[in-house]
Amino acid sequence: MSLTRETSHVPGNILGALCPTSGHKGAFHWLIYLCMDSNSGVMFHASRPNEQDPHSWEFHTAHWKAFESKSCLTLAVIGRVVDFDPRNPARAVEMMRGRLQPIPMAVPPEDKAREPKFTCRVRFRAALRLLVTHQAFQLSNQDSFVDRYDDYFPSLTITLPLYILMYPKRH
């Protein structure tokens, strides 16, 4: 089955999203996105409130329409909230926020060998590890999600499984 808006933007689905950054070419901003209804959802991510300070990071959530956003480059279904209630999507949002917000803005010990410094990708990986251990969330193989493109682009160390390219590549 091919991934389309109709097959991936299903209430209760958890998606991984990549957006461009103002950093070097090939750098992306990594987000977790929870579909709340057929049009919108909530993003969960680490952001830098002060772009000039590479060490200032904070947890951020916001309503977002990923499929309509010009800044969203790629989306991939990575999991699902097990008992998602479409009549009360705020419950799933609060459950995810409660799990994700306490994650430290630091490189976890298990990533020290591969990650020289903290980035939103480091936090994304830590968030996936945490969600996969919680019974309320059902995630696909989070390691392949974050590691798959290492084989293709080892210098960029970015990854995604099957993905949707939101806007055609400009030449």
pLDDT tens by residue, 58-111? 999 999 999 888 888 888 888 899 899 999 999 999 999 999 999 999 999 999
Token output for 146? 């974050």
- Do the domain assignments include residue 67? yes
Measured CA to CA, the distance from residue 89 to residue 98 in angstroms comes to: 14
Strand 28-35 vs strand 41-47: parallel, antiparallel, or unpaired? antiparallel
Measured CA to CA, the distance from residue 124 to residue 104 in angstroms comes to: 11
Count of structural domains within the chain:
1
- Do the domain assignments include residue 90? yes
Nearest partner of 115 among 157, 80, 162, judged by Cα: 157
Give the range of the structural domain holding residue 127, as residue numbers without chain letter.
Answer: 5-165
Q: Determine the pLDDT at residue 152.
A: 34
pLDDT for residue 148 is more than 80: no
- Do the domain assignments include residue 170? no
- Do the domain assignments include residue 82? yes
